[in-house]
Structure 1
Amino acid sequence: MLDQPLEHACDSIAETRARRRNAPIVRSFFDEATCTASYVVHDPVTLTAAVIDSVLDFDAPSGRTSTASSEAIVAYVESEGLTVEWLLETHAHADHLTAAPFLQAKLGGKIAIGRAITAVQKIFGDIFNVEHEFKRDGSQFDHLFDDGEVFSIGGLLCTVLNVPGHTPADVAYVIGDAVFCGDTLFMPDYGTARADFPGGDAGQLYRSIRRLLSLPDETRLFLCHDYKAPGRDNYVWETTIGAERMTNVHAREGVTENEFVAARKARDATLAVPKLILPAIQVNMCAGVLPCVEDNGRRYLRIPLDTI
């Protein structure tokens, strides 16, 4: 986890501004191992909170899991006296395992994702050849959000937007003056998410991005990842809709769908498969629940060969 004075200073400024306008207070947690930003979002009046896109630490060579990243979230929630109502996932991540079940055991809250997770479960249920007992109806999650569904975090109204393309099941959460877009957009100097995973679609991604960019320019945009664009030395995971609309290197205003699709497909063809895609998706499509312990007391993940 990054723990830099500048980050804490920025968080303090953001909290002060949020309290002034009754907007959500957002605390970020960046996991450098997976370049993932997780968030605790809370209502400054009721101290009701949601956790978005948490990380379970996973060492692929050894197959060991740990909870250091998510324990930092627990410590923050407890220190601020927050009550967690929601554990939100923007999609079934391919680059890290979710810590939602661990956080639920520690803090409570409902684990939720977009209803189209069932499409991901069908695609990857076949890839992993999971047993018939694996339900592909999303019932592993406590709640499945529909497009346009409105819910609350304390006194904050939240709206769910379907933004497929990176995967069939990506959603963004609009919470007050902030939107959490998952992997759909990255920082303006880095561009957008890839669209070459099973079920991905570059044209659909373009249309989802346009939907996000129709939000007010001043809307704060919180990203799930940052990979440091060439020439930039620091990690950054917050920007604005206006900055994305005007300067995103892949999807700024004026780029047509055909231009975007051609460029996205060309770039995706050069990208390596994410290192954790196989362990991550088979766990994340089950709401973060790890495989059952077998008769020798151990858990096992499936690794399909010559498939992805």
Structure 2
Amino acid sequence: MTPQIKAFFDPATWTVSYVVFDEIKGSCAIIDPVLDYDSKSSRTSIHSANQLIEFIHAQQLTVAWILETHAHADHLSSADYLKSQLGGKTAIGDNIPAVQETFKKIFNLGDEFAPNGRQFDHLFTDGELFQVGKLTASAISVSGHTPADMAYQFGDAVFVGDTLFMPDIGSARADFPGGNAHQLFRSIQKLLALSPTTKLFMCHDYPPAGRAPAWECTVAQQRAHNIHVRNGISENEFVTMRNKRDATLEMPNLLLPSIQVNIRAGKLPPAEQNGVAYLKIPINLI
């Protein structure tokens, strides 16, 4: 079956969230939802998430899955809020414990945080199949940006997370803890080996001046035009470019707050004795 797809672009974080649905059975999956966060006041809000809810109610859909392509470093996830409002199972790649273990040490998290993936309802393995109504989807491991990156394929549509960007932007960075430029190249090749007409949907777009935000292209377009991994670029050329470029990049604005929430499947840290939840900021560590 052909999936129906509705994209939601968040201009504050340049993130694209998706609702993928089977309009016959009325079942859907949500991919990479955003929890709005004001870094100046450290206040969260649910405007972006409520846009998804409004669409899902209007289409009379039932949520089967809330899918994360990885533990994002550039926006907070609203998966936990959406689950409380709509139901569905939260899911991510089965290498998420490696990411959780790394950041448990960085943030010196206590015994309340177990780095075993149990914060999510399901951990997908590479090649695992799952259902959204009549739609059969598959999880594709695309590690390299982080160890736990997953792409999700629904028919001729693949949601690639941060592994690839639009062809004029290129590819994800590979210098986060656990990242690996060699592995990122090989993961990208898995995507580029799909049928040329396969549609790829990005999680972010950072458009150059003069171009409006965009988030969909084909495998053929990526092969021909991606500035980092088009046809003819070798693994060693890519790794050299990626490592050199990554060394010049600043950390994402929301790295520290977002990771602490996203490794918890969108849950805030537990409230302390005064009833307030706190995010931790390590000094001179990252």
TM-score of the two chains, using structure 1 as the length reference: 0.92
1:89 aligns with 2:57: no
Name the counterpart of 2:85: 106
1:48 aligns with 2:55: no
1:285 aligns with 2:263: yes
Name the counterpart of 1:183: 162
CA deviation map 1:121-180 (0-9, x unaligned): 011111111002211110000000011100011111111110001001100001111000
Matches of 2:56 and 2:78 in 1, distance apart? 15
Structure 1 gap ranges (5+): 1-21
Map residues 110-121 of structure 1 onto 2, 5 A cutoff.
110-121=89-100
SS of 1:56's equivalent in the other structure is strand
CA offset at residue 301 of structure 1?
A: 0.4
Matches of 2:97 and 2:270 in 1, distance apart? 21
For 1:87, the aligned partner's letter is I
TM-score of the two chains, using structure 2 as the length reference: 0.99
SS of 1:263's equivalent in the other structure is helix
Name the counterpart of 1:165: 144
Q: 1:141 aligns with which of 94, 100, 120?
A: 120
SS of 2:275's equivalent in the other structure is coil
SS of 1:119's equivalent in the other structure is helix
CA offset at residue 297 of structure 1?
A: 2.1
CA offset at residue 202 of structure 1?
A: 0.5
CA deviation map 1:95-128 (0-9, x unaligned): 0000001100111100000000011001111111
SS of 2:123's equivalent in the other structure is strand
Q: 1:239 aligns with which of 217, 220, 228?
A: 217
SS of 1:130's equivalent in the other structure is coil
CA contact (8 A) 2:260 2:269 kept: no
Name the counterpart of 1:225: 204
CA offset at residue 45 of structure 1?
A: 1.6
SS of 1:165's equivalent in the other structure is coil
Name the counterpart of 1:63: 42
SS of 1:160's equivalent in the other structure is strand
CA deviation map 1:237-256 (0-9, x unaligned): 11111111111000011100
CA offset at residue 44 of structure 1?
A: 2.3
Name the counterpart of 2:107: 128
CA deviation map 1:31-60 (0-9, x unaligned): 000000000000122111000000000011
Structure 2 gap ranges (5+): none
Give 1 or 2: higher helix fraction.
Answer: 1
Matches of 2:49 and 2:168 in 1, distance apart? 29
Q: Percent identity?
A: 55
Matches of 1:179 and 1:44 in 2, distance apart? 18
RMSD: 0.8
Matches of 1:196 and 1:162 in 2, distance apart? 18
Matches of 2:23 and 2:269 in 1, distance apart? 38
Matches of 2:222 and 2:210 in 1, distance apart? 17
Matches of 1:110 and 1:246 in 2, distance apart? 37
SS of 1:29's equivalent in the other structure is strand
Number of equivalenced pairs: 286
CA offset at residue 269 of structure 1?
A: 1.2
Matches of 1:147 and 1:236 in 2, distance apart? 28
Name the counterpart of 1:269: 247
Map residues 241-260 of structure 1 onto 2, 5 A cutoff.
241-260=219-238
For 1:277, the aligned partner's letter is L
Name the counterpart of 1:9: none
